[in-house]
Structure 1
Amino acid sequence: MTSPLQLVPAPGSDLLPARAQRLRELIRPETLEMLNWDETSQVLRPSPDHPFLGMNICARQGCWAAARKTELGLCSGCRSSWKRSGKTPEEYLATEPKQVSNTSGGCGVPKCQRPWTSSRTQMCMRHRELFVKLGRPPLAEFLAHPRVRPLPGHGLCSVDACHRHRANGSNLCCPPHWVRWKEAQPRGADFEQWCRTEPGSSETTAVSLRGLPALVTAEVLYGLQARTDAEIKSPPILLRALVQRLREQQVPQFDDVEITPNTHIAGMANGMRRMLAAAVSTPELEQIKDVWNMGVFGLGQWRKLDFTPLHQEWMRRACKTWVLDEIPRRYGKNIPNSLSEMILCVRFLSKSLVRSREDRGENMAALGRRDIEAFTQYVAQLKHTGEISTFRHTTVCRFTGRFLREIRDMGLTRPGEILAELPDDFALRRHDMPPVITQEGPGRALPREILTQLCERLPALDQVRDDTADMRHAIEVLIDTGRRPDEIGCLPWDCLETDEHGKSVLVYTDFKNNRTGCRLPIPDSTAQIIVEQKKAMRARFPDTELTELVLFPRPRQNSGGTQSYRISHIGNVHRRWVNAMPPLLLADGTEFPKLDVAPYSYRHSYAQRHADAGTLPDVLRELMGHRSLQTTQTYYRVTEKRTRAAVDKLVSHQFDRHGNRIWTEARQLLEHEHARVRIGQVSVPYGICVEPTNVKAGGHGCPFRFRCVGCDHFRTDPSYLPELRAYLDTLLRDRERLTAATELDDWARTESTPSEEEIKRIRTLIRRVETDLERLTDDEREQIKEATRTLRKTRTVSLGMPGIRAPEPNLRLERDA
């Protein structure tokens, strides 16, 4: 059980230095080296060639301006200069280096502390004048002249963001800023305020963090480290603009900066906020908030969990405790989604209390059965008015009832706990729950003709995104295997193996159930798609270790090919592909809704396809990777109408243990006869049993030791013909094996050997069933086959009797290889 939440004081201003210290500890030395961070000048100068922090520099020698995205690679000024020169690009770049005049360097005279006035001479103003007076001697001779002595500096520029020195003692700023101040004076600017907010002089990739509080400086440096680790670009132009917003607003911490929404700077700022929140927070600090950053819990730095829809304080605290208790029990890629579903359902209870009580439900001790009745009436009203669907109505009641039950199971209502005053009758009872919806029809499985049209249009996926075949291959594997989208998107590069028979096997991870190394037999056509994808990925990322390479790498922020597809990426590209298609038409010519075509619907189609092919439910459960057969049965549909029709087809072809037909004429069963067929029999491996005690025990209580073919309660029909043949083969093999055995005594061999009477009886049954089918017309035989497939979808064999090994499933596909 999770202990009750202990509220801690919110971080105050006195905690800001500790926050800065924490961030400084998280910043790696190699990050500072990558940024070329100068602690003294508070300036970072990342290399222009850095893939995430750099920028394209003008191709002209001596020019450090940002290049335009053209083939020439020139900045705007050099491009204009080249056009005026009349030269070819090669001649221009080779013969006209740019001479840049700035004050970003120190004087070339040793130990002189004044800045140079020109990059060509690299001398301060006094030494430049002396150099001219001496007749411009060679540099070595000039530096050795007795009149050339180092001069003291005039101090740094008064602008907080500037790291340059003053050019002379009469000006308070460096030359560029002195010019800017002269321009700002007529506008009535205050000099001190102007110095605090004025940006530093631009130097290509250089970004000055001078003038920012120590905490903000640490936050910017850590944000750049986190963005670089995530392979997100942070161009100096955007970074310089963001730093300028921080400087202008004089914020004490990064979270306080205000940025115009829907801009590039806002995107960078929001991303850094999320990264900083995950870095400095802890699960204990997140618990006091009403909006949790799930990255702190290791569940995705972009994911949030919002408790604000719950209006009562006690309900928020209880829901937070429930979430903390539930997190360790959840698996998969979408844990925040499943947890937020509980919050979204409980909010209806919160709204009901606000509507129906004067105290808005804050006093938990005053709650009772009447409030539960008001809640059930409220959600029922929402369903009747169409504000929520019938399915949502059922889900809300079911989840809310579970929540109220589990917070008691966790002990939160015990004396001294946070819900000690919650009354016992404030709970949903069984009769408060709306009936579970039973859906008829194909469910979420796509009709065969729709799936055929989608497969025919798979080549169009190559033009939807990034102009590669990765997504097409992913969707093809998704259709062929019926796996969940995250299981396909996260496949490793070495996901294909062969079994002992030389057949291809897909090795994947079931994230939902936390199962690794799951194996699924796949056809050769699907294996060939995976082989092609493996070759393409190896050619694209030749330097990446194969153990780290993934089969479907995401197209961005993934330079090494080690980051797999996100589920949202698969869904977005798939939706764009489907929406761009012509209308999808059913067999009757009507249009099929495109919103029903989703990546997960291929999993339902896979299950329905195998169910239609007669795959036994137990085998299909293994193929789907389910633990419960009940879960598998929700993935495909066999309607009552189809089952009744199948029973009517096979009822006139039912035989007893002697091979005699039980029904002498074909007719439809009455209602009570259908009920008897359903509840008055139980499946055995090669037929059905109507012995009452065995039926009551679910097939586990046969009083005759499962001697089915010698029992008058045994029935069989053409739908059990494969099992009859398999059982006969088993009996014959066992007889031959026991006859040849020399290590058994005679009495043991006699008791273990199948009797000739049993073998004869099974042969007679098979012959009678086959003879009965041969007398039918082709249409009648086809109807019997269809009825057999329908009944076999819902048939399960009792485990109380030795079973017959099911035949290998037919993995045929709708699309051509």
Structure 2
Amino acid sequence: MTTALQLVPAPASDLLPACAKRLRALIRPETLDVLNWDEKSRILRPSPDHPFLGMHICARSGCWAAARKTELGLCSACRSVWKRSGKTPEDFLATEPKQISNISGGCAVPKCRRPWTSSRTQMCMRHRELFTKLGRPPLEEFFADPRVRPLPGFGLCSVDACHRHQANSSNPFCPPHWVRWQEAQIPDADFETWCRTEPGTAESTALSLRGLPAVVTAEILYALQARTDAEVKTPPVLLRGVVRHLREQRVEQFDDVVVPRNTHLAGMANRMRRTLAAAVSTPELEQIKDVWNMGAFGLGQWRKMDFTPLHQEWMRRACKTWVLDEIPRRYGKNIPNGLSNMILCLRYLSQSLVRSRQDGGADMAALGRSDIEAFTQYVAHLAHTGEISAFHRTTICRFTGRFLREIRDLGLTRPGEILAALPDDFALRRHDMPPVMTEEGPGRALPKEILSQLCERLPTLDQIRDGSDDARAAIEVLVDTGRRPDEIGCLPWDCLETDEHGKSVLVYTDFKNNRVGCRLPIPDSTAEIIVRQKKAIRARFPDTELSKLVLFPRPRQNSEGTQPFRMQHIGNVHRRWVNAMPPLLLADGTEFPKLEVVPYSYRHSYAQRHADAGTLPDVLRELMGHRSLQTTQTYYRVTEKRTRSAVDKLVSHQFDRHGNKIWTQARQLLEHEHARLRIGQVSVPYGICVEPSNVKAGGHGCPFRFRCVGCDHFRTDPSYLPQLRTYLDTLLRDRERLTAATDLDAWARTEATPSEEEIKRIRTLIRRIETDLDGLTDDEREQITEATRTLRKTRAVSLGMPGVRPPEPDLRLERDA
């Protein structure tokens, strides 16, 4: 039994040291080595050459400033000096080293605790004066002179963030901070505050975390580790900006810092905040919040689940319980999206309660049938006024009814549970549901001419931002295979196999249904695209293990080629590509809306293409990876209008068992004849049966042992011509095989051998149908062919009798491009 949601206590302030301890335990020793972290001085000094934590340093000797991205590789100040010097870049770099003063270097005299005054001499002021007084002897002689003795230091700079030493005993600051203090013109009363909030002086990639709380220090170190693992760049300039805000605002934890919006600094701070939230949180702690970080549940640290649209406390708690119960049973890459759909639908119930009740629906015991009626009227009003679509109205009612039913199944309305006071009549009944909308149009499948135009314009992908050969190959495979975008984006490098017939097979993972190793027949042209992509990826990542390599590696933060395309990346590139195209024109010259061209529409087009080719419904269901045939039927369209038209065209060419036409002239079927088409007949392998008892049994109750061609209830038409030919071939093969058999008694051979009358009857039917079609014009034959194709999409042959399976079309269909 599912118990009520047990809320844990809210985090107290004494949890902060525990969070810091937990984060420090998650920080690996090798990370501290990469960061060159000095625990004593609390200084980070990552290497300037680090691919994610470093930066370009000025090429001028002695300069530690960030370089501009130019061929010279100089910082702004050194570039100005070079222009004034009039020298060539090579001569300037060779003869003009930068003299740096007042930096953190220590005096070169052994054991001297005072800072140097210049990078040229690298000596403190007292030793530099002595060096000049002694006539600038060689350094070895100078250091050996008995008059040269190490001097004690004056202590560290008074600024908390600074790790430099004071220049003299009368100045509490290092020289740079002394200059800043004088420029700041701050009263002496604010001296202590200024010292605590003033940042340190920048030195190459060095970053001072001095003066920050232990929690914040641990958070920064862990965030840098996580960003480095994810191959995300952390520019030292931006990191210093974040640390400056942390120090100025004197926050107790990283989550409290406020950074100016719409800046690069804010973007990095927000990503670090989400990373830290996922690291320190647990499912138990997330449950007390109204906005969940799904990273705590292992569903992506960037994903959120917001329960705030639900205004009633009981509804929020019940929805949280429902989500917790659903998470283990969901599969795929978009679990948070699927769960959030329930919240988006329940918010209309919440809004309805707020609008219709004085207590806003807070008192669940006072709810009843009238509130359900008010809810259904509210969503109907929204649909009638155009605020939501009719389809969305149906979805809202369906999800809400499911929620109210399943919270009772979870036992939440039992005595003592969180919804014990919820009345039983507060539920949606069957007649409360609006009718399901049915589409009579072509569905989401793209018209053939539109798909052809898209394929012709695939070379223009290189002109789109983030467009590449990888993106083009991914879209081509999407079009050819009809897989879901995440299934193609996550294909492993070794995803192509060959079946027993020497044909190519795509091996992929169905994330939605948690099926690994699914196999799909693909045409040779698609296999060539995949082989070409495999060679290109292997050449790009030659050192990565093949078992870890992916077919479509994402272009950023992926130095080893092991991270696959994100669905958002494919969708964004595809949308920019489609929007940049000229208008897409239909066959009649009208423009096709570009918003309907999405990556998932290729899946519908794939299903429609197979349906048009006559692929059997159960075969198409397997190709699409669906568990239900009803789901497959939503991916392609055969409208009632087209079905009626097809029947009208074929009805005048319908024959009985003797080969006689049943309809003597072509005319439109009456309404009751169309009804009989649905309920008064059942399909058999090479025609239809109208025998009442067999129809009632769904084709499983033939009283004549399935002797169709000898039964007066049998009908056939040109749409069954391939099945009739296949059945005739089967009868002839069986007759020859049984005639040559020597291990059967005579009576058994006679009983099993097809009769000459049946073979003759099948031949007669085939000849009469072919003769009838030969007498038609080319245009009429084309109409019959199209009608046949339409009816085959809706035809399901009964499996209750021994029959001949129609020849299956080639499952490796080429796209029309």
Deviations along 1:776-811, whole A, 9 cap, x unmatched? 222222111111001001111112123433434344
Between 796-805 and 509-518, the greater mean CA deviation after superposition: 796-805
Q: What is the rounded CA distance, in whole Å, between the counterparts of 2:745 and 2:277 in structure 1?
A: 77
Relative to structure 1, the CA distance from residue 305 to residue 348 in structure 2 (aligned partners, 3 Å threshold; closer, same or farther) is: same
Instruction: Give the CA deviation at 1:186.
Output: 5.7
**Counterparts in 2 of 1:422 and 1:467: CA distance versus 1, 3 Å:** closer
Matches within 5 A, 1:378-417: 378-417=378-417
Q: Does 1:372 align with 2:358?
A: no
Question: 1:567-591, CA deviations, whole angstroms, 9 ceiling, x for partnerless residues?
Answer: 1111111111111122222222222
Aligned equivalent of 2:127: 127
Q: Distance in 2 between matches of 1:585 and 1:425?
A: 53
Give the alignment of 1:466-485 within 5 angstroms: 466-485=466-485
Question: 1:668-679 residue pairs with structure 2 within 5 A?
Answer: 668-679=668-679
Structure 2 equivalent of residue 194 of structure 1: 194
Q: Which consecutive residues of structure 1, in runs of 5 or more, have no partner in the other structure?
A: none
- Cα distance in 2 for partners of 1:146, 1:689 equals 120
Does structure 1 retain, via aligned residues, the 8 Å contact 2:685–2:806?
A: no
User: How many residues are paired up?
Assistant: 816
- 1:431–1:131: structure 2 CA closer, same or farther, 3 Å change rule? same
Query: Is 2:703 the counterpart of 1:707?
Result: no
Deviation of 1:277 after TM superposition, in Å, equals 0.5
Alignment map for 1:499-518 (pairs within 5 Å): 499-518=499-518
Residue 642 of structure 2 aligns with an amino acid whose one-letter code is: R
1:348-386, Cα deviation, whole Å (9 max, x unpaired) = 111111111111111111111111011111111111111
State the alpha-carbon separation in 2 of the partners of residues 638 and 501 from structure 1.
Answer: 33
CA contact (8 A) 1:619 1:806 kept: no
Look up the match of 2:255. Answer: 255
The amino acid of 2:506's aligned partner reads L
Partner of 2:816: 815
> Following the alignment from structure 1 to structure 2, what is the Cα–Cα distance between the partners of residues 475 and 613?
23
Inter-partner Cα distance in structure 1 for 2:300 and 2:182: 51
Which deviations, in whole Å up to 9, do the C-alpha atoms of 1:579-607 show, x marking residues without a partner? 11222222222222111111111111121
Q: Which residue of 2 aligns with 1:182?
A: 182
Q: How far off its partner does 1:219 sit?
A: 0.5
Does the C-alpha gap of structure 1 residues 75 and 525 become closer, same or farther in structure 2, counting only changes over 3 Å? same
Q: Relative to 1, partners in 2 of residues 1:2 and 1:560: Cα closer, same or farther, differing over 3 Å?
A: farther
What letter is aligned with 1:765?
Answer: L
Conservation of the 8 A alpha-carbon contact between 1:448 and 1:814: no
Residues 1:662 and 2:662 are matched in the alignment: yes
Q: CA RMSD in A?
A: 1.7
Q: Does 1:96 align with 2:70?
A: no
SS for the counterpart of 1:645 is helix
CA drift of 1:744 comes to: 4.5
Following superposition, the deviation at residue 633 of structure 1 comes to 0.9
1:357 partnered with 2:326? no
1:157 and 2:157 equivalent? yes
The question of 1:223 aligning with 2:223 is answered yes
Aligned twin of 1:433:
433
Q: Is the 8 A contact 2:607 2:636 kept in 1?
A: yes
Q: Letter of the aligned partner of 2:214 in structure 1?
A: A
Q: Do the aligned residues in 2 keep the contact of 1:690 with 1:714 (CA within 8 Å)?
A: yes
* 1:202-242 C-alpha deviation (Å, 9 max, x unpaired): 11100000000000000011111111111111010110111
Contact 2:102 2:115 in 1 (8 A): no
Q: CA deviation at 1:337?
A: 1.0
Segment drifting more, 597-606 vs 344-353: 597-606
SS in 2 for 1:688: strand
Q: CA deviation at 1:404?
A: 0.5
Superposition pairs for residues 281-360 of structure 1, below 5 Å?
A: 281-360=281-360
Cα separation, partners in 2 of 1:429 and 1:664, compared to 1, 3 Å? same
* Conserved 8 A contact 2:522-2:813: no
- Contact kept, 8 Å, 2:489 with 2:566, in 1: the verdict is yes
Alpha-carbon deviation of 1:762? Answer: 2.3
2:494 paired with 1:494? yes
Aligned partner of residue 24 in structure 2, secondary structure: helix
Moved more, 82-91 or 238-247: 82-91
Which residue in 2 is equivalent to 1:236?
236
Shift of 1:733: 2.9
TM-score normalised by the chain length of structure 2: 0.97
- Report the Cα offset of residue 746 of structure 1: 4.7
Offset at 1:741? Answer: 4.2
Shift of 1:750: 4.1
- Match of residue 794 from structure 2: 794
Q: What is the deviation of 1:710?
A: 2.7
Q: Which residue of 2 aligns with 1:779?
A: 779
Counterpart CA distance in 1 for 2:186 and 2:623 is 79
Q: Which residue of 2 is the match for residue 698 of structure 1?
A: 698
Q: Distance in 2 between matches of 1:467 and 1:389?
A: 35
Moved more, 372-381 or 539-548: 539-548
Q: Determine the C-alpha separation between the residues in 1 that align with 2:799 and 2:422.
A: 46
- Map of 1:25-44 to 2, 5 A cutoff? 25-44=25-44
Q: Distance in 2 between matches of 1:287 and 1:423?
A: 26
Question: 1:608, CA displacement in angstroms?
Answer: 1.5
| Local SS of the residue matching 2:516 | strand
For the residues of structure 2 that align with 1:632 and 1:287, how far apart are their CA atoms? Answer: 38
Following superposition, the deviation at residue 632 of structure 1 comes to: 1.0
Give the letter for the 1:677 counterpart.
L
CA distance in structure 1 between the partners assigned to 2:743 and 2:109 by the alignment = 106
Shift in Å at residue 743 of structure 1?
4.7
Q: CA deviation at 1:747?
A: 4.6
CA distance in 2, matches of 1:615, 1:572: 33
Match of 1:757 in 2: 757
1:417 is aligned with what amino acid?
E
Contact 2:53 2:235 in 1 (8 A): yes
Match of 2:443 in 1: 443
Contact 2:99 2:118 (C-alpha < 8 Å) held by counterparts = no
Residues 671-713 of structure 1: CA deviation (Å, up to 9, x unaligned): 1111112210011111111121221121222233323223222
Give the Cα separation in 1 of the matches to 2:200 and 2:814. 65
Structure-1 residue corresponding to 2:141: 141
Whether the aligned pair in 1 keeps the contact of 2:466 and 2:573 (CA below 8 Å) is no
How far apart are residue 458 of structure 1 and its match? 1.6
Question: Residue 99 of structure 1: SS of its match in structure 2?
Answer: coil
CA shift, 1:321, in A, is 0.6
| Rounded Cα–Cα distance in structure 1 between residues aligned with 2:186 and 2:785 | 96
- CA deviations on 1:146-200 (whole Å, 9 max, x unpaired) are 2333222222111100111222222212222222222234666711111101111
Q: Deviations over 1:594-625 (max 9, x none)?
A: 11111111111121222222222222222222
| Of 137-146 and 20-29, the range deviating more from structure 2 | 137-146
Distance 1:282 1:456, change over 3 A: same
Supply the distance in 2 between the matched residues of 1:467 and 1:643 (Cα, whole angstroms). Answer: 42
- Between 139-148 and 740-749, the greater mean CA deviation after superposition: 740-749
Q: Tell me how far apart the structure 2 counterparts of residues 770 and 161 of structure 1 sit (CA, whole Å).
A: 94
Cα deviation for residue 814 of structure 1 reads 4.5
Structure 1 residue 255: deviation in Å? Answer: 0.5
Structure 2 gap ranges (5+):
none
Give the residue type in structure 2 aligned to 1:27. Answer: I
Give the drift of 1:248. Answer: 0.3
Q: TM-score, normalised by structure 1?
A: 0.97
> What code does the residue aligned with 2:333 have?
K
Q: Deviations over 1:312-371 (max 9, x none)?
A: 111001101111111111111111111111101011111111111111111111111111
Write the distance in 2 (CA, Å) between the matches of 1:413 and 1:99: 78
Q: CA deviation at 1:550?
A: 1.4
The aligned counterpart of 1:206 is 206
**Does 510-519 or 278-287 show the bigger shift?**
510-519
The secondary structure found in structure 2 opposite 1:37 is: coil
Q: CA deviation at 1:131?
A: 2.6
Give the corresponding residue for 1:614: 614
Residues 15, 781 of structure 1: CA spacing in aligned structure 2 closer, same or farther, 3 A cutoff?
Answer: same
Residue 770 of structure 1, CA deviation:
1.7
